[in-house]
Structures are given as structure tokens and as C-alpha cells.
């Protein structure tokens, strides 16, 4: 019998995007489908109150960021700040990221994905991002040489993510400690101020990488 932990992503149970309904009040930003200038598209999953997203938009005017937050009170705080900042290269989205990405993002269209300080799901590790079948679908939305950046203050979470990235997903990756003066998110500021170590894993999609969803797209 094969150890399930040693299966590659092509052998594991497949995600089923066709079973997900579009989020309530679903709309797609104008950048999607109308990106005539080929502006690099960036997605942030779990944007919180938007500290990273707002700063990224200002610092990267040549890129377009879609920042998704599910929790209502966090999104409302983020949305108010985004409206005030009025960056044309930022879309703040209130939705479940999995359903929204399934219905909005085309294959091989995203240059970079940020997952910054996700819920560690210590009681339910199957819900950690790199343990989920959805991660294969997420990789299908990433361009060749695109990057996924995962950041956490829980070293065991990153240890598992690094192992999954290498053994299951077959992604070249690099790991580093977050500099003590980094301030990308409110969580990052809090953790570093307490003297905690934070960790970052950068994963790249290599040339010739295949998923079972490379040609899958929702028909709206």
C-alpha cells in the first residue's frame, strides 16, 4: 500500500471546482479579461485589514493586486482604507478566496500569490493551504515562473509547507527568516515586536509544470 503522504499532486484526490457556487454578489474586477497591457496580476489570499495590500499597491504601480478577505469586519476596515487611498491598481474583494478564485481567475494568469499569516489550522491540518487539494487548482492559475509566498510565525507550519512544496507539489522553493524590521501586516508587526521569529517560504512554478486544471475555466 502506498503511503498517502508520499503521493505526488497528480496522484492525490483531485479538487472539484465544478461543485463550488460563485460567491454572493460575485463580480470580476475590470482588470480580468481586459488586461491589454499585460500588467502583472497579483493575488493576496486573506488580506485582513489591508495593511500589506495598501502598501503593495503604492510600492508597485506597475502591478495590479486583487486582495481577498472573507471576514466581514476585517474587510469593511480594509475597504474603507482602500477607498480613501484610491489606488487604481488595487481591488479589494469580500469573498471566500477559494470560490472566488475558481470563478474569476483564468489559468496561467497570475504572476504572484501572497498567503500571509494564514490560520495555522493546528487542530485540522488538512485545512492548511499546501495540504488541501485546492492548492493544485491554485497552481494552475499561476504563470510559469510565477511565485507563491507563504509567511507564518509558526515554524512547524512552515516545516510542513516546505516538505509539501518539495515532495508533493514538486515546486522549487526557498526558505528564509523574516527580517525583524519587516512590517507587511498587522500580525507581522505584532509578532516581531514580541520577539517572535517569522518565516517565509517562496515557491516557484517551473517551466513545463502540469496540473489537472490547466484547461479548466468556469463558463459564466
**pLDDT above 90 (res 5):** no
Give the pLDDT confidence score for residue 11 in this predicted structure.
Answer: 65
Q: Are strands 41-45 and 110-116 parallel, antiparallel or unpaired?
A: parallel
Q: Where are the alpha helices (DSSP H) in the chain?
A: 51-59, 72-85, 97-104, 134-140, 155-163, 186-193
Residue 3 CA to its chain's centroid (Å): 28
> What pLDDT is attached to residue 10?
65
Cα separations in angstroms, 96 against 47, 58, 150, 174 = 11, 25, 18, 28
For 33-50, write each residue's pLDDT tens digit. Answer: 777 778 999 999 999 999
- Which has the closest alpha carbon to 21: 98, 99, 95? 99
What is d(CA 164, CA 185) in angstroms, rounded to the nearest whole number?
25
> Is residue 155 within 8 Å of 198, Cβ to Cβ?
no
Contact 113, 146 (CB under 8 A): yes
- DSSP assigned state of 165: I
Which of the four pLDDT bands, split at 50, 70 and 90, describes residue 51? very high
Q: Indicate if the pLDDT at residue 62 is higher than 90.
A: yes
For the chain, percent of residues with pLDDT exceeding 70? 94
Per-residue model confidence as pLDDT tens digits over 126-135 = 999 999 999 9
pLDDT at residue 1 in the model: 33
Q: What is the pTM of this model?
A: 0.93
Q: How far apart are CA 108 and CA 214, in angstroms?
A: 8
* Strand order across the beta sheet in which 173-177 lies: 90-94, 64-69, 41-45, 110-116, 142-152, 199-204, 173-177
C-beta of residue 185 within 8 angstroms of C-beta of residue 51: yes
8 Å CB contact between 43 and 68 = yes
* pLDDT tens figures, 158-214: 999 999 999 999 999 999 999 999 999 999 999 999 999 999 999 999 999 999 999
* pLDDT level of residue 27 (50, 70, 90 thresholds): confident
Cβ atoms of 200 and 149 within 8 Å: the answer is: yes
| Domain ranges for the chain | 37-204
Contact 191, 183 (CB under 8 A): no
Residue 6: predicted pLDDT: 55
Q: Dump pLDDT digits (tens) for 92-145.
A: 999 999 999 999 999 999 999 999 999 999 899 999 999 999 999 999 999 999
Grid cell of 145 as nine digits: 515562473
Instruction: State pLDDT tens for residues 63-86.
Output: 999 999 999 999 999 999 999 999
CATH class of 37-204: alpha beta
Coil, strand, or helix at residue 89? coil
CB 95 within 8 A of CB 23: yes
Amino acid at each position: 500500500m502506498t503511503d498517502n503522504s508520499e503521493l505526488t499532486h497528480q496522484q492525490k484526490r483531485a479538487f472539484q471546482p465544478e461543485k463550488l457556487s460563485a460567491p454572493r454578489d460575485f463580480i470580476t474586477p475590470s482588470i480580468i479579461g481586459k488586461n491589454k497591457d499585460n500588467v502583472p496580476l497579483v493575488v493576496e489570499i486573506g488580506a485582513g485589514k489591508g495593511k500589506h495590500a495598501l502598501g503593495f499597491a503604492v510600492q508597485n504601480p506597475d502591478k495590479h493586486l486583487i486582495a481577498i478577505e472573507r471576514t466581514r469586519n476585517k474587510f469593511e476596515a480594509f475597504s474603507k482604507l482602500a477607498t480613501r487611498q484610491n489606488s487604481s491598481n488595487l481591488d479589494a474583494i469580500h469573498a471566500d478566496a477559494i470560490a472566488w478564485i475558481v470563478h474569476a481567475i483564468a489559468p496561467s494568469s497570475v504572476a504572484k500569490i501572497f498567503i500571509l499569516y494564514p490560520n495555522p489550522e493546528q487542530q485540522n491540518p488538512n485545512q492548511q493551504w499546501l495540504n488541501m487539494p485546492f492548492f493544485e487548482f491554485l497552481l494552475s492559475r499561476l504563470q510559469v515562473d510565477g511565485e507563491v509566498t507563504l509567511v507564518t510565525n509558526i515554524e512547524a507550519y512552515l516545516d510542513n509547507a516546505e516538505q509539501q512544496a518539495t515532495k508533493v507539489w514538486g515546486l522549487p522553493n526557498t526558505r528564509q527568516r523574516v527580517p525583524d524590521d519587516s512590517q507587511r501586516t498587522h500580525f507581522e508587526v505584532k509578532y516581531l515586536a514580541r520577539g517572535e521569529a517569522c518565516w517565509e517560504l517562496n515557491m516557484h512554478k517551473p517551466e513545463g509544470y502540469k496540473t489537472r486544471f490547466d484547461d479548466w475555466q468556469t463558463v459564466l
